Structures are given as structure tokens and as C-alpha cells.
Amino acid sequence: MGAYIVRRLLLMIPTVLGIMAISFVVVQFAPGGPVEQVLAQISGSSSGALGRVTGTAGGDFEGQSAATPSPQGEASQYRGSRGLSPEFVASIERQFGFDRPPLERFGKMLWDYLRFDFGRSYFRDIAVVDLIIEKMPVSISLGLWMTLLSYGISIPLGIAKAVRDGSRFDVWTSGVIIIGYALPGFLIAILLVVLFAGGSFWSIFPLRGLTSDNFASLPWYGQILDYAWHMTLPVVAMAFGAFATSTLLVKNSFLDEIRKQYVTTARAKGLTERRVLYGHVFRNAMLLVIASFPAAFVGAFLGGSLLIETIFSLDGLGLLGFESVVNRDYPVVFATLYIFSLIGLVVGLISDLAYMWVDPRIDFEGRGG
């Protein structure tokens, strides 16, 4: 067991290195980098997505002179630099560290990331770590409660559907599941807003934020209720589609196991149906469900919450990542990519260990896994 865990941890190093290298190379060829964003804002052609721009060294580009245009009108690799002197463009490159070769910048980034030093945001006057920590509670809340809710419903429901396969209960619950599977999460979110958040019907739940403005003055039980009040609609919207997928997965896994010979043998020995189901079938059928957990958790924790965060005005990591990509805020982009790559790999290792806990017959170490 110990040797297997060590091997998996060592394999994470080239995996993360490959992810960061590919992403870094792709970024080098992507148009509209941070220098171009600043030049566009200075020249007045920015779309307005950036707002006030600050440099990596904490310098403020507002108020800096663009100097005198080059009399020869020297060509520049940056769009939006027309009319600006090469010296001024070079000073902006130094602010962002783009005056150094790409390989040197990549090596420095890896060295800093090994020490979990992610630098400062290009366009926000804050350290990247502090920015991520600030947005983390929203994403943790959405990802954690969505996963617990979807699995808490789908596992017992999937087992019940497998046991009653073909019954009226199975048919009408399948109708609900198909609807949940077909409707995207953001559409469910909009429907919930219209129905319960001051749309055309009732105004029961809030539409903005993770907590109320008077959260700090509430007693502890009031804070719990206020937090649950704000989280109800976004968590339900995210869990609806995930619950449908995981329910079908649980049902099909149990049906495959129930039809196997060892189940017939166990019943022939006189074991009760409950003992057969939870003493023999459950352990084998849950292996596939456990295998799907890392992808479901990481997906809900990061990418799956972007539209939900936007609809319910929740400022979390999903929205932060999207805005960072749009604004070419590379320190934030690479830091979130690095952190979530590590989270995904660690959760995958935990999933394998859970495999061995559920079914001791599985031995990854013995097979050189």
C-alpha cells in the first residue's frame, strides 16, 4: 500500500509538469495577451473588461506617460501600440515580465509554484493566493453540497430502481431523471429564479451572495439558516443534472451485479434479500460509482459552477477563472490550473484507495499499479 501511494505521488510530478507546459505553450500563441490588453486600454480601444489596470510590480499604468511616438513609426508585435514609443511598450513588458525569454519565464513559474508562490494578479492589486482564498468559500460550498446532495439522493434512488426494475415506480422516476438529464443546469437555475427568487411568482429565496448583509450580527443558528437559505437554489440547480446521471449509473451498476451467478447462489442459500443486496451486491456495484466520483467532484468544484455563479451573483472560482482568461490575467489562470490539477490527481488517488477499502480483493500494488 505504501509503495503504491509513493509511486502515485511521484507520477503526479510529470503529469502536472506536462499540463503546465502544454498550457504555457498554448498561451504563448494566444492573441491578446496582457501587454496588448494594457495597450488597448491606453489607446482607448479596450472593451472595458479590465477596468483599472495595475502592473505585476504594483505599478499603476494610469498616469504614466506614453512618451513621444517614434518618428519612424517602428513596427511592434503588439496591436494597439501605434502611436506609442517603443520605450514605453518595453516598460510595460518589464512590468509583466515579458522582456525575458519564454523558457526562462516558464522555469521561474515552475520554481515559484513548487513553493506555492503564485505572484500577484496582473489586473487586480492583490496576491493570487489571497484572491483564490477569497473566492474559495463559494466554490467549496457549491461543489461540496452539490456532490453530497446528488449522491445522497442518487444512491438510494438508484438501488430502489434496480430492485424494482420495470415497475411503475421505475417508470415514473425514469421520466423525472430524463428531464433532469436533458435540461442544462443554467436553465434549471433560471427556472428556479423565475419561480422562487422574485421572478414572476414567489420571492422566497435571495438572488445574490452567499450570506446576508447582517450575517455577522446573527446568532450561530441564524447564520446556519441564512447560509442554507442562500445556498438552496444554486445547489439544487447544480445537483439536478448530476443527480440524474449518477442515479442511472447506480441503477445500471446494481442491475449488472444482481443478474450475476453469485447473487443466485446467495439467494439459494437462504440469505435474505436485504443481506444479498447490501452484503454482496452493494460492494461490487459501488466500484463504478466510486470511479466516477473524482471527475464529478472536481467538475462541480471548478468548471460546473461558472454559469450558476453568474446567475446567482456568487463570486467564486468558476467566475474568477473565466474573467482571468478573458482578461489574460495569466498568474490567476495558471495558479487555478495548477491547484485544480493537484486536486484532481489527489482525489483520483483517494478514489483508488476507496476502491481497495470497498473491495479488499483489489490490489493495485500487487499488479504494479
Q: What is the pLDDT of residue 44?
A: 62
Mean pLDDT score of the chain: 78
Per-residue pLDDT of 137-178, as tens digits, reads 888 888 888 888 888 888 899 889 988 888 899 899 988 888
Per-residue pLDDT of 33-50, as tens digits, reads 777 777 766 666 544 444
Domains, the chain, in order of start with CATH, read: 16-126 (no CATH), 129-358 (1.10.3720.10)
The position carrying cell 505553450 is: 25
CB 128 within 8 A of CB 335: yes
**What are the cell numbers at 146?**
452539490
The arithmetic mean of pLDDT across residues 50-78, rounded, is 46
Integer Cα distance of 233 and 192 in angstroms: 7
Model confidence at 70, in pLDDT bands (50, 70, 90)?
very low
Task: Answer whether residue 357 shows pLDDT above 80.
Answer: no
Q: What is the pLDDT of residue 55?
A: 45
Task: Answer whether residue 86 shows pLDDT above 80.
Answer: no
Task: Answer whether residue 318 shows pLDDT above 60.
Answer: yes
Q: Between vectors from CA 338 to CA 334 and to CA 342, what angle results, nearest 5°?
A: 170
Higher pLDDT, 106 or 28: 106
Residues 6+ apart with CB under 8 A from 184: 241
Q: What is the pLDDT of residue 303?
A: 56
Characterise 225 by phi-psi region: left (phi > 0), alpha (psi -120 to 50), beta (else).
alpha
The winner for highest mean pLDDT among 61-70, 84-93, 180-189 is 180-189
The arithmetic mean of pLDDT across residues 10-22, rounded, is 90
**What are the cell numbers at 285?**
456495484
Percent of the chain residues past pLDDT 70, beyond the cut: 79
* Segment among 30-44, 67-81, 224-238 with least mean pLDDT: 67-81
The arithmetic mean of pLDDT across residues 273-292, rounded, is 80
Q: What is the pLDDT of residue 302?
A: 60
Integer Cα distance of 333 and 317 in angstroms: 11
The arithmetic mean of pLDDT across residues 187-192, rounded, is 87
Per-residue pLDDT of 231-257, as tens digits, reads 888 888 888 877 887 888 888 888 888
Q: What is the pLDDT of residue 369?
A: 47
